[in-house]
Structure formats: C-alpha cells, structure tokens
C-alpha cells in the first residue's frame, strides 16, 4: 500500500512540473531604443569673476572695486540690463606662506567677487566674453547654454526612442519568422543633454555646463558622436519588453 502511495505522489509531481504537450510557451523580446534631438540654445548664462591680490587688504579691495566698476560699465554698455546681472558676495582669503612645516604670518590678501550674467541673445556670447576679460574680469567660472523648451524636446526625443525600440523588435522578430505583440513593460533610461562648440583657455576655465535647477546638462557620454557646432543634444533612452508571437 505504501509503494502505491509513493508512486502516485511521483506521478502527481511530474504532472505539475512538466507542461502538457502543446501548451503555449511564454515568449518575449526586449529591446532598447535611443534618440537624439539637436536644439539651438536660446539663452546663455555666463559666470565671470574678478580676483585681486595685494599685501594690503584695503588696496586689494580697492583694486577689486575699481575692476568691478569698469566691468559693469562695459557689459551694460552692450545693452545687457541690470536685472540680468546677478552678483555674489565679496570674498576675502588670507595668504600665508608655508615654511618648514608651519604657516608664517599673513603676507597678502585675495579678494574675489563673481557675477552671473544672462544673455538672451546667444550670438552675443563671444563678444561678451571678450568684453568682460578686457574690462576687469579675469576668470570664466562657468557657462550654461539653455533652451527654454527643454521639456518639449525631451518629450520629442522620448517618442522617437519608443518608435526606435519597436522598429528594432519588429526587425529582429521578422528574421526569426515571429511577430511582435503588445508591450509588457516600458522603462525609461536616464536621458541627458549637452552642448558642443566651445573650448576654454581662460583662467578658471568654464567647461561646466548646466541648465536651471530642473534642467540638467552634463558632458556627453563617450559615444564617438560629433555634436553639431553650437547645438544642445537632448537624448532619451527607452527599453520595452514585447510579447513574441
């Protein structure tokens, strides 16, 4: 009786783990689509700085103030409105010599101040940098090339990426005499945007580029792709799993 019980349990187990002949096999195909939209920026934010040094604090501050006055006159003379010029607080750093394992007394002062200038005409960019560096500024601390329609272009790139993922799936399935069915899952990868066209050789060189707090621009990944001069590249990546029929 016990032998018959054991045999019945084995048959039942096999029936559970071995699919019936003709049962439908679960098939799927997963692909990733990528797309890039190139956009001409319509606004630039340039961060510039003034640094002065002197053994006397008052002289270092006075030199910095004189340079700042000349700078503001020059850039407002280009037609840039004062509301588009943001200022940082004045910063003073002490300079001490490091000799034989210890710092000696103060031998000078660095005085620094910075400005964040918004250019609503991108064509003014090179002229602005040239004017600033010739009229008191001695550091380019950062440059942000922006598009006010970033959300629109990200949506456009995402739609193109989804289409690319489906076209890739259809092409792969066709080679295997299969067809693509409905999507099972959709996931969006990390998109990015970056700007190409300028290299810096100025003090404090500004290679860093960013949008505003909600629009991030970073350096391009190493794709070997040449970015068209003076354009922002907005990319999207989407992965989709389709039923395979």
3-state secondary structure string, 192-209? EEEEECCCCCCCCCCCCC
If you average pLDDT over residues 203-213, what whole number do you get? 28
Q: Does 28 or 231 have the greater pLDDT score? A: 28
Flag whether pLDDT at 209 surpasses 80. no
Region 22-41+149-244: CATH code: 3.30.110.170
Q: Per-residue pLDDT tens for 49-105?
A: 999 999 999 999 999 999 999 999 999 999 999 999 998 888 999 888 777 777 778
Q: pLDDT band at 12, cuts 50/70/90?
A: very low
pLDDT at res. 83? 94
pLDDT at res. 199? 36
Q: Does 119 or 106 have the greater pLDDT score? A: 119
In this prediction the pTM is 0.60
Flag whether pLDDT at 17 surpasses 70. no
pLDDT at res. 232? 83
Q: pLDDT band at 213, cuts 50/70/90?
A: very low
DSSP state, residue 18: S
Contact between residue 103 and residue 93 where contact means Cβ atoms under 8 Å apart: no
168 contact partners, CB below 8 Å, separation of at least 6: 31, 32, 33
Q: To the nearest whole number, what is the mean pLDDT of the chain?
A: 79
pLDDT at res. 226? 53
Q: Per-residue pLDDT tens for 130-184?
A: 999 999 999 999 888 888 888 899 999 999 999 999 999 999 999 999 999 999 9
**How many other CB atoms are found less than 10 A from the CB of residue 236?**
25
Q: How many CA atoms lie within 13 A of 172 on its CB side?
A: 17
H or E, element range at 182 = strand 180-188
For the chain, the domains span 22-41+149-244, 43-145
**Partners of 110 in the β-ladder:** 53, 93
Contact between residue 173 and residue 216 where contact means Cβ atoms under 8 Å apart: no
**How many other CB atoms are found less than 10 A from the CB of residue 105?**
7
Q: Which of 98, 100, 74, 99 is nearest to 85 (CA)?
A: 74
Q: Give Cα 231 distance to the centre of its chain.
A: 14
Q: Does 14 or 84 have the greater pLDDT score? A: 84
Helix (H), strand (E) counts: the chain: 4, 9
Q: Give Cα 17 distance to the centre of its chain.
A: 50
Contact between residue 42 and residue 146 where contact means Cβ atoms under 8 Å apart: yes
Distance CA 184, CA 115 (A): 51
Q: Specify the CATH superfamily of domain 43-145.
A: Protein of unknown function (DUF541), domain 2 (3.30.70.2970)
Distance CA 64, CA 112 (A): 7
């Amino acid at each position: 009786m016990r032998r018959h019980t054991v045999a019945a349990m084995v048959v039942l187990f096999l029936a559970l783990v071995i699919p019936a002949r003709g049962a439908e096999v679960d098939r799927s195909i997963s692909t990733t689509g990528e797309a890039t939209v190139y956009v001409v920026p319509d606004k630039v934010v340039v961060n510039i700085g003034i640094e002065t040094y002197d053994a006397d604090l008052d002289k270092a501050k006075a030199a910095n103030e004189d340079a700042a006055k000349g700078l503001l006159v020059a850039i407002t003379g280009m037609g840039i409105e004062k509301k588009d010029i943001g200022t940082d607080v004045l910063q003073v750093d002490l300079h001490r010599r490091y000799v034989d394992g210890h710092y000696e007394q103060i031998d000078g002062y660095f005085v620094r101040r910075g400005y964040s200038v918004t250019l609503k005409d991108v064509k003014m960019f090179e002229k602005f940098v040239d004017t600033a560096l010739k009229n008191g500024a001695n550091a380019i601390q950062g440059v942000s090339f922006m598009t006010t329609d970033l959300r629109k272009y990200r949506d456009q790139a995402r739609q193109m990426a989804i289409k690319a993922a489906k076209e890739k799936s259809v092409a792969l399935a066709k080679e295997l005499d299969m067809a693509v069915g409905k999507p099972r899952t959709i996931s969006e990868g990390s998109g990015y945007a970056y700007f190409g066209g300028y290299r810096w050789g100025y003090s404090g060189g500004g290679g860093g580029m960013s949008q505003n707090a909600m629009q991030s621009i970073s350096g391009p990944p190493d794709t070997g792709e040449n970015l068209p001069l003076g354009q922002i590249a907005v990319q999207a990546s989407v992965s989709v799993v389709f039923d395979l029929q």
